Amino acid sequence: MEIDYIALFVSDVNLSVTFYREVLGFQFDKPIAQDGTEGLSGSLKIGIYDRIWLAKLFGENQDSAMNSHSFLLSMTADHLETIYQHLLQCQTQGLVQNVNPPKMMPWGQKIIFLTDPDGNLLEIVEKRPNS
């Protein structure tokens, strides 16, 4: 089994698509509908859907699903300092709210932590040499 699709349920589809496209470089080729769209990050498919879908999908359990921010979307990249400067530029344009500077972790990897417009937790991990 492997993960090949992630769905994010957001309060503003257009704002989230702008964030993931302009800030993180995800590709969205399908038209953006009011209730959602799908795109790509490398080979990973990502769906960005309005939170109205939670009621349709989870029924009576929608409240716990709507209040959940219990996952972390992790991405790997080269040149973390360059990415951090890009994120700071996006922050001055109002596209990014919360971004922390690259931090060296005890296990020897540099990581940037940030959130998307809905407060979902994101990290960008610098690729290790030979990985």
The pLDDT profile of the chain, 131 residues, written as one tens digit per residue, is: 577 789 898 999 999 999 999 999 999 998 898 889 999 999 999 999 998 887 777 777 666 666 666 577 889 999 999 999 999 999 999 999 889 999 998 888 899 999 999 888 899 999 877 65
Write phi, then psi, for 105 (nearest 5 degrees): -90, 160
In whole angstroms, what separates CA 62 from the centre of its chain?
21
Q: Can you give the pLDDT at residue 3?
A: 73
pLDDT at 56 (0 to 100): 72
Burial 81-108 (b: 16+ CB within 10 A, else e): eebbebbeebeeeebbeebeebeeeeee
pLDDT attached to residue 92: 94
Per-residue model confidence (pLDDT) at position 53 = 81
Query: What's the rounded Cα separation, in Å, for the pair 90 and 95?
Result: 5
Q: What is the pLDDT of residue 69?
A: 62
pLDDT of residue 51: 85
Cβ pair 111, 125 in contact under 8 A: yes
Instruction: Report the residue count for the chain.
Output: 131
Taking phi over 0 as left and psi of -120 to 50 as alpha, with beta for the rest, 15 belongs to alpha
- Tell me the C-alpha distance between 23 and 83, whole Å: 9
Domain boundaries, the chain: 5-126
The residue type at 25: G
Q: Which fold has domain 5-126?
A: 2,3-Dihydroxybiphenyl 1,2-Dioxygenase; domain 1 (3.10.180)
What is the rounded distance in angstroms from the CA atom of residue 63 to the CA atom of residue 84?
A: 34
- So what's the pLDDT on residue 99? 92
